[in-house]
Structure 1
C-alpha cells in the first residue's frame, strides 16, 4: 500500500488527557486503573475511568448528541490542538473532502440503560427525551464528530468489537486511495456502561485487581474507557523527506471464524493479520522494532496471541499497554495506534505495566520497564470477539515510506 501520513493525533484515557500526560504515564510505567466506582456497578474489579466526563456536556448546539460517549469524544478532540488541525484541513480541502471513520463497541448504550431506569411504570414506555439515534446508535459517534466539525464528507462507524478502533484505518485508507476524500479523521471512543461491565463479569473475565497482561499470574481484564483521534492523509511534497513524520505503512485484517468469544487457540487469525500487515508495508518481520500487543490479560487470549507472535517474529520486544489504560474495547485500536506513534516519535518501548513476572511459557521478549530504542517501524495488534482481527504497521522517517511504496 502507499504510505499515509498519520498526523496531529491525540488520546485521552485513565492514563491521562492528551499526549503529554499519556507519554508521562507510559514513561513512568504508571497505571490509571482504580477500584470500580462506576454508578450501579457493584463489582469487585478495577476500571480505567476518565475523570470529569459527568461535568462536561457536549457543545450546546449539539445537545441532542449528549451522552457519556460523545462527551469523552469532545473532551479528547479539544486536546493537543487537534480541533484546530481538523479545521485547517477543512480550510485546505473543503468540508466535503474530509471523511470521518470512528470505531466503537457500545457507543452511548449507557443512555439506553438510564432510559430504561426511567421508563413509565404504567406502560413501560421510554422517556420522551431519550433519543436512540443520536446516543446509543453506533453511528451516533461518527455523526457527532461530523456535526462537531461541520463536515459533509462520508462518515462511517465501525463496530467490530475490540478491533473497531484499528479497522477504521483500513476503511479510511480505502476511501483515500479511491480518491473519494483527501483527509480522514480516524478514531475510536468507548465508555464505561453497565452492559459491558456486567457482560464481561458474566463471562468470568474481569480481574479482581489491576489487569496483568502476559504475567504468570494474569487473571482477567480491567475495563477502561478512552477516546483517540488522528488525521490520515496522502503524502504531500513537504513531508516526502521528513525523517520525523509518522506514517501508516501497512494494514492486515483477518477473521478467525473460530468462536464467538474465544480466539483461535493457535492464534491463526492473529498470525494472518500480522503477516498481511507486514506484506502490505513491504517489510520483513526483522524490520519491526516493537509490537504493541492486544494483550487483554486473560490466560487464553494472551497465550493465543503469543503463539501467533512467535510464529511470525523472532524475539521482538513487545508489551501490552492495557495494564496502564485498561481494555478500552472499541477505542483500544485507536488508542494503541496513538501509543505506537508516540513510541516512534520518542524512540521508546513502553512498559507492560503490572506485569512483574512475565509468563516464561509464552516465550516473549516482554518489556516490563520502559526503555529507549532506535525504532523505525512498529506493529500494533487489535483482536475482537468473533475473531475479527486487525494489525497496523507504523513507521517513522522517509526511508520506510519510500521502501513501502516501491514494494
Structure 2
C-alpha cells in the first residue's frame, strides 16, 4: 500500500439543502423511505412537464446591497445555506489571518436562470433590455461569498459539470496541505434552470418518470438543485476528509468510458491515498445517474475495484435529482451524516434492477446494524472528469 500523499483534513461544519429538505432530520427521513421527494413541474421545457428535485423551503429574500450586482437565485441559495452555519464558521475562522481563509465552490449554472427571461426579451427584438453578465459568470459565486464573509484568501469557482462540487474537496485539501490556506470553505451550489433542462432533453437524457439508477427500465436522469457547504481545516473533526482520487479518461465529450476505466482509477487512487483496502469501505454513494451508459460503466468499475467484496451501495439521485455542479457536494453531505449518525444507510430505489447489474449489494434495508468508519462518494462528469471522495471517522 502506497503512502498517503495528502494529509486528511477535518470537516468542522457543514450544511446541505436540497429536495430532501433543509434539516438533517428531513434528509434522513427521506433517504430511508421510498416516497419520492421529486416534484412534477411544468414551464421548464416547452409543452412538457418533468420530474425535478426542487428545494421547497424559502430562500433568502434579499442579498446585501454590495452584492446586488450579482444577485441571482443561485447566490440566494448559497447565502441561505451559508447563513445556517455562518456564526459557527466566523467564530472558528477568527483565530486565523483573513488572507489565510480560502473559498472554493462548484457550480454549473451560476445565475443563468435569472438572465433567461431577459435574454428571451432580447432575442425577441427588445435589444434595449439590460442583460447583466456578471450574475451568470461562474467565478462570481466564490467571489460573492468571499465578499460577504470578509475573507481575503484565495477564492475561485470550479465548473467541471457534474464533478464540480466534489472537486472542491480535492482543491481545498491541497490548499491546506500545501500551506496556502488554513481554512477552506468548499462545496457546490446549482439551481434549476431552463438551459440545463432543455440541454439534457435535447440529448434525450431526461427520464420520463422518476429515475431508476441501475434499473431495468432506466431511461435517463431527473435534474435537481442543491447547496452544500463544508468548512475544512487541518484540525481533527468528527468526520474527516481522508482522500480524493481523480482521473480524466477523456473518452468522449459526453459519454463515459464504456469499461469504466477512469471511474475505476479514481476509486483506486482515493483508496491508495487514504491507505485503505476496498473491504474497509462501509458504504459507497454511487454517481448513479440512471442513464444506460453511466450506470453500466460504474458497475463495471465497482467490480474492478472491489472485486469479491460486496460493498453496500446506493444512488440517492432518485430522491435529490441530479444536482449537476452541486451533486458531489450534496452527496458528500449525505455521506458525512451517515458517518455521524451510524444508524442508517440511504436506500437504493425499490424498482427492478437491470439483470446485468444486479450482482452488487444495493442497499434495500436502511438500518445500519454495524459501525462503519469509512465511506466513498463517486462523481463522474462529461469529458471523463472523474473523482472519488473518501470520508472517515478516523485516520488510518
Shorter-chain TM-score: what band? over 0.9
Report the more deviating stretch, 82-91 or 21-30: 21-30
2:384 corresponds to: 387
Q: Deviations over 1:13-45 (max 9, x none)?
A: 011013232222223344310112355654232
Report the counterpart of residue 84 of structure 1 in structure 2: 87
Deviation (angstroms), 1:348 = 4.2
Q: Note the alpha carbon deviations across 1:197-217, whole angstroms, 9 max, x for none.
A: 000000101111111111222
SS of 1:209 mapped into structure 2:
coil
Contact 2:22 2:57 in 1 (8 A): no
Corresponding residue to 1:355 among 350, 372, 378: 350
Superimposed CA distance per residue, residues 176-196 of structure 1 (whole angstroms, 9 cap, x where no aligned partner)? 111111010001001111110
Which one of 272, 283, 288 corresponds to residue 265 of structure 2?
272
- Residue 143 of structure 1, CA deviation: 1.2
| Distance change >3 Å, CA 288–CA 108, structure 1 → 2 | same
Give the whole-Å Cα distance in 1 for the aligned partners of 2:220 and 2:45.
21
Distance 1:96 1:203, change over 3 A: same
From 302, 317, 328, the equivalent of 1:333 is 328
Equivalent-residue separation in structure 2 for 1:268 and 1:158 (angstroms): 23
Conserved in 1, the CA contact under 8 Å of 2:45 and 2:197? no
**Structure 1: which 5+ residue stretches go unaligned?**
240-244
Find the counterpart in structure 2 of residue 242 from structure 1: none
Aligned to 1:116: 119
When normalised by structure 1's length, the TM-score is 0.90
Counterpart of 2:255? 262
Distance in 2 separating the partners of 1:258 and 1:352 = 31
- Name whichever of 343-352 and 4-13 sits farther off: 343-352
Q: Which residue of 1 aligns with 2:156?
A: 156
Q: Which residue of 2 aligns with 1:101?
A: 104
Distance 1:349 1:359, change over 3 A: farther
2 CA distance for matches of 1:54 and 1:343?
Answer: 26
For structure 2, the 5+ residue unaligned runs are: 1-5
Cross-structure match for 2:362: 366
Match runs of 1:148-227 below 5 Å: 148-227=148-227
In the alignment, is the contact (CA less than 8 A) between 1:288 and 1:316 conserved in 2? Answer: yes
Bigger Cα displacement from structure 2, 54-63 vs 218-227: 54-63
1:14 to 19, 36, 56: 19
User: TM-score normalized by structure 2?
Assistant: 0.93
Report the alpha carbon displacement of residue 266 of structure 1 after superposing the two structures with TM: 0.7
Give yes or no for the alignment of 1:287 onto 2:280. Answer: yes
Give the ranges of 4+ consecutive aligned residues of structure 1 lying more than 4 Å apart after TM superposition.
Answer: 38-41, 52-55, 120-123
Query: Superposition RMSD on alpha carbons, in Å?
Result: 1.8
Q: Distance in 2 between matches of 1:294 and 1:121?
A: 39
CA contact (8 A) 2:59 2:80 kept: no
Q: What is the number of equivalent residue pairs in this alignment?
A: 387
C-alpha separation in 2, matches of 1:116 and 1:312: 47
- Secondary structure of the 1:119 match is helix
Aligned equivalents of 1:230, 1:308: Cα separation in 2: 28
Whole-angstrom CA distance in 2 between matches of 1:42 and 1:156: 38
- Distance (whole Å) between structure 1 residues aligned to residue 118 and residue 125 of structure 2: 15
- CA deviations 1:324-378 (Å, max 9, x no partner) are 1000000001111111101111114533453322223212111133121421101
Determine the C-alpha separation between the residues in 2 that align with 1:326 and 1:93. Answer: 37
Contact kept, 8 Å, 2:98 with 2:153, in 1: the verdict is: yes
* 1:71 Cα deviation after fit: 1.2
